[in-house]
Amino acid sequence: MRRRRGYLWYLILLVLIIILGLELYLPRMAERRIGEIFRAGTDRIERLDIQVSSFPALEILLGRLDRVAVESRGLEFKGLYLDAFAVKYRNIKLKEGSFEGENIALDILITEEALNNYLRVNYPELDSFKIELIPDQVYLSGVLKFFEARLKLQLAGELAITEGNKISFIPQNFLFEDISISAGLIRDFMKDKGFSFDLDELDVPLNIDEIKIGRGELRIIGKGNNERKAEF
């Protein structure tokens, strides 16, 4: 009888150890999988921190996660360098090479320097142009060949969400060598000379609410269901 009780307690202890081990191991396994998905969609990431929480952890074996928080520095894709990128999810479903989930917080920081590098890499026709960011305003200045003339051009505009998670520069005012010209006339001429970047190319769920332009930097923010924005 005592021997049976001993075996029972031994079995209970073994089960508890296994459960505890799974609670510790499975979130780490899910973090590695999420990390692989992020790295697959980027050119490089200087630092990537991922935290997974799910209870019970056994549901991870079914590809389900309660919450995921991702924070990175120096994430680059398609020539665009994100100085800081923080995102939070809940109700995540892991798939082969991807995942689905509700994006409840997002905060991305991109500097003026990073945007200018992106312009040089992806828009060689605008290699003489430079982006300047000041609070609530974007300027694109450079030299444009207009028929046989080379004119100094400055465009004042905004960065706006145009479709999905694509962010485009929308010119609003134009100045050619201190001569104001009809915005409609120049917009037709410039329609193929703007620039944009598409965060959907990261191939992870993102929900953008607003774009904030500061001096020398821009922030892309998603607030989700009124949760506090992601912190760096």
The pLDDT tens digits for 131-165 are: 999 999 999 988 877 666 677 878 888 999 998 89
Above 80 in pLDDT, residue 39? yes
End-to-end CA gap in the chain: 59
Q: Give the whole-angstrom CA distance, residue 12 versus residue 166.
A: 54
Question: What is the reported pLDDT for 16?
Answer: 65
Mean pLDDT of 35-57: 92
Above 60 in pLDDT, residue 183? no
More confident residue, 101 or 15: 101
Question: What is the reported pLDDT for 154?
Answer: 83
What proportion of the chain, given as a percentage, has pLDDT over 90?
A: 53
Binned at pLDDT 50, 70 and 90, residue 23 comes out as low
Mean pLDDT of 204-231: 80
Question: What is the reported pLDDT for 90?
Answer: 95
Binned at pLDDT 50, 70 and 90, residue 192 comes out as low
Task: Encode pLDDT of 99-116 as tens digits.
Answer: 999 999 999 999 999 999
Above 50 in pLDDT, residue 232? no
Binned at pLDDT 50, 70 and 90, residue 124 comes out as confident
Q: Give the whole-angstrom CA distance, residue 194 versus residue 168.
A: 8
Question: What is the reported pLDDT for 187?
Answer: 59
Above 60 in pLDDT, residue 181? no
